[in-house]
Structure 1
């Protein structure tokens, strides 16, 4: 598992969040059938694209999640508490994606120019 560095003033690098998200989504097929297509972390946001279960032809889907600035950021404490980067990725990205995908079951597919149905789009609170 990936963890925050010992010094509380340091935060994980963007690639650490991306790696933790890959690990968290690796367990999603057992939960919901979601399959990660891509993940990237830059400019303070993590973007993950994924497909639904085999019989779901509405995807690809995507989520854009704001990265926490540090361990005191509400985005960290809400999803990881005093946990690890993996725990944050599991709760803030993978499980939110699972829940948003389930909630979209009775919705018409939203149009987007890039062909991805964006289920979550966090914004910067600043």
Structure 2
């Protein structure tokens, strides 16, 4: 199903290049407005399903919240940093400059952080 969408998009890109050029120019502050709209369409149903009354009640059972915080803010960033160092400073060190290697490692760490809690989505 996903490959048919990719093929359809590729075909439309060849068939209607002017339309895609116009869509690519719909930007504000380096953010494509159409992409931003579709991201909100994708995220809004998840945000609507949040039961805010249960968030206040987390004190009665804090284990789930604590486990999530530990995994998201301690385990994942350090794991991504270790993977970044392993791949970009050891395995691919001959292919990258030291500056690029550090930038890629920083990117891996950012991918490990739960940025969606700040309204930032990297996917």
* TM-score clears 0.5: no
Tell me which protein shows more helix as a share of its residues.
2
Tell me which protein shows more strand as a share of its residues.
1
Larger RCO, structure (CA 8 Å, separation 6 or more): 1
Q: TM-score range by the shorter chain?
A: under 0.3
Give the alignment's TM-score, normalised by structure 1: 0.26
